[in-house]
Amino acid sequence: MSRILVTGAAGSVGAVGRTVVETLRRQKLPVRALVHREDARAEALRATGAEVVVADMTRAADVVPAMRGVGRVFFSMSVSPSYLEAAVVMATVARENPDIEAFVNISQMTVSGMTTASTEESRQQRLHWLAEQALAWSGLPLVVVRPTVFLEHPFFTLFAAASIAGRDEIRLPFGTARTSPVAARDVADVVSVVLADPAPHVGKVYELTGPRSEDMNAVAAEYSEALGRPITYVDMPLERWLQEDLRAARLPEHLAEHIATMARLHARGRYARLTDDVETITGRPATSIRDFVVGHAALFGGRGNGTRPG
């Protein structure tokens, strides 16, 4: 069969692209992994048996050779001001390839609530919305995957992890709204199933969430059960959280604006979504918050037995 091109293969939040490469290679499928630079992550991808190419997705001259001999594409790119440009370049080159049988685009669930005139979303979310429009116009055999916030998102693995490890508190500005974070592993498994046999999925949109939608007090209860010690939720006023937590992280401006907007939209209930698409496609339930925390207990200052390391 023709190759499967996986972009964003070096991995960022949750490393979905890298996990997709590893999963497909375990199935002995031919994979070409596109990375932005040569480093240890590229070598690790080669160790799976994947072909690795270095390319800039905003440059058609780089993408054309990367697309040769490809039949299926997974387009994934981390939060970036260049996201829309990369999506359009990838779609333009893919349209010139008569062998493309599936173009799988990972977007964001927030897009499902957006309109042409909506303004409350982040610039990154607007870029995702525009990219979805452009891909729809392209006429490519499209599959869209829209995950909600990842369990690996900085909300949980940076900000909450620090306050849990230090004070047994989840300090986030989500108010009483519900959320349903999804594990990156589940997203990668959905994408891998689609890429392995795309025909039944072309033309569909899959929205991926965790197994339940719950408020942050219920989320804290899952952390408590997983870590073996009481964890409480502290509802931070948004502006205080932006000043004390987000600003202290010293993130790039585009990323910081995106995370700040996600926090606002969380409090407004935009992430109170629940679907069973993960289970429908993979045949297994989505990973719960509790199970994710059990598997990453050291990150939260404990090892699942009620004690702290050290």
Instruction: Quickly tell me which residue has 């497909």 as its tokens.
Output: 24
Tens-place pLDDT, residues 73-105 = 999 999 999 999 999 999 999 999 999 999 999
Beta strands in 156-231 (DSSP E): 169-172, 178-179, 205-208, 214-215
User: In terms of pLDDT, which residue wins out, 13 or 178?
Assistant: 178
DSSP designation for 106: E
Structure confidence at residue 304 as a pLDDT band (50, 70, 90): low
Distance CA 310, CA 298 (A): 11
Tens-place pLDDT, residues 145-154 = 999 999 999 9
Q: Are 180 and 209 in contact (CB under 8 A)?
A: yes
What does the pLDDT average to over 172-197?
A: 97
| Domains, the chain, with CATH or none | 3-149+182-208 (3.40.50.720), 154-179+211-272+285-300 (3.90.25.10)
pLDDT at 301: 87
pLDDT at 10: 83
Indicate whether 1 pLDDT > 90.
no
Instruction: Quickly tell me which residue has 């909300």 as its tokens.
Output: 155
Structure confidence at residue 303 as a pLDDT band (50, 70, 90): low
Task: Tell me the average pLDDT of the chain.
Answer: 94
Structure confidence at residue 306 as a pLDDT band (50, 70, 90): very low
pLDDT at 38: 87
Distance CA 47, CA 54 (A): 16
Decide: helix, strand or coil at residue 261. Answer: helix
pLDDT at 307: 43
Decide: helix, strand or coil at residue 84. Answer: helix
Percentage above 90 pLDDT, the chain: 92
